[in-house]
């Protein structure tokens, strides 16, 4: 009976996954779009990352402690973003992708346009949904986070980060689109570099921000489908032509 129960549960999970994939494809029916179902990463105990702690210390006029046996902090080191509140890893840009794929098994999709389907939107904050997007010769990181900026009022924050330098990030434009029940919501902006720390992006509100009621308008049975498109910046294209 135990074996049967476990197998039956696995079959139900597979059916549910296929059903979520079909719903996303039905909503975003554009040819060539890839759909990735992303499960949440949830933690009940939030701890600030190294970059968040360093930013707080700087704002207070206090430098992070540095003992004689510790290495001097390197501003080019990138903290792990999966999840932001539990993994102590940090490294340089060229090894971020391999860390996310090998250690956290983050999916990576290729193509100009993809669909990001986040499941279990009802989970309490803080919760992250993360995926990598390979496009135009670069790797991008989409982070969707459910977080309480004010106690008792959770919000959803979605942003695209380039796994590269800020100068490289200025060459691109990303678009996030929600489309359901004859409603459409778009956010278009220049991606930020992962060197700038996603915590700062969310704190500044420089991203797609949804309150709970707005997220429910675009969700379907607890899942939120976000269409993603990345293009090269028109400004830089014009400069190149000149």
What integer pLDDT is reported at residue 13 of this predicted model? 52
**Is 165 a member of any domain?**
yes
What pLDDT, on the 0 to 100 scale, is given for residue 49?
Answer: 47
228 domain-assigned:
yes
The residues with which 116 forms a beta bridge, in sequence order, are 36, 226
Q: Is residue 49 part of a domain?
A: no
Dist. CA 142–CA 215, nearest whole Å: 17
pLDDT, position 67: 36
Domain count, the chain: 1
Per-residue confidence (pLDDT) for residue 57, from 0 to 100: 39
pLDDT of residue 150: 81
Residue 174 included in any domain: yes
Q: Is residue 241 part of a domain?
A: no
Q: What is the CATH number of the domain that holds 127?
A: 2.60.210.10
Structural domain including 87 reads 25-41+75-232
Q: Is residue 172 part of a domain?
A: yes
Tens digit of each residue's pLDDT, the chain (242 residues): 554 555 555 555 555 445 554 544 444 444 345 788 888 886 544 445 445 444 443 344 433 333 333 444 466 788 887 766 678 888 989 999 999 999 888 888 888 789 999 999 999 998 999 999 999 999 999 999 999 988 889 999 999 999 999 999 999 999 999 999 899 999 999 999 998 888 889 888 999 999 999 999 999 999 999 999 999 986 554 444 44
pLDDT score at 200: 87
pLDDT for residue 179: 94
Q: Which residue from 23, 30, 81 is spatially nearest to 229, judged by alpha carbons? A: 30
Q: Give me the half-sphere count of Cα atoms (radius 13 Å) on the Cβ side of residue 72.
A: 0
- The per-residue pLDDT for 66 is 33
So what's the pLDDT on residue 75?
61
- List C-alpha distances in Å: 141 to 50, 78, 189: 19, 13, 14
Residue 65 lies in a domain: no
pLDDT score recorded for residue 59: 42
**Closest-CA residue to 20 (of 132, 126, 116):** 116
Per the domain annotation, does 30 fall within a domain?
yes
């Amino acid at each position: 009976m135990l074996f049967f129960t476990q197998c039956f549960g696995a079959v139900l999970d597979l059916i549910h996954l296929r059903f979520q994939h079909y719903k996303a494809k039905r909503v975003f029916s554009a040819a060539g779009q890839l759909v990735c179902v992303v499960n949440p990463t949830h933690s009940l105990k939030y701890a600030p990352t190294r970059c968040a702690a360093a930013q707080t210390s700087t704002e207070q006029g206090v430098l992070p402690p540095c003992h004689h046996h510790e290495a001097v902090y390197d501003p080019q080191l990138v903290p792990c973003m999966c999840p932001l509140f539990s993994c102590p890893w940090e490294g340089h840009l060229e090894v971020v992708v391999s860390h996310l794929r090998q250690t956290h098994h983050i999916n990576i999709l290729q193509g100009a346009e993809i669909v990001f389907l986040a499941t279990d939107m009802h989970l309490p904050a803080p919760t992250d949904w993360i995926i990598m997007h390979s496009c135009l010769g670069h790797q991008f990181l989409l982070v969707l986070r459910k977080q309480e900026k004010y106690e008792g009022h959770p919000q959803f924050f979605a942003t695209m980060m380039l796994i590269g330098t800020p100068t490289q990030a200025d060459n691109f434009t990303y678009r996030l689109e929600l489309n359901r029940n004859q409603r459409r919501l778009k956010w278009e902006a220049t991606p930020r570099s992962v060197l700038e720390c996603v915590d700062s992006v969310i704190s500044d509100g420089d991203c797609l921000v949804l309150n709970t009621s707005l997220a429910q308008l675009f969700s379907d049975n607890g899942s939120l489908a976000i269409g993603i498109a990345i293009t090269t910046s028109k400004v830089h294209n014009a400069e190149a032509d000149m």
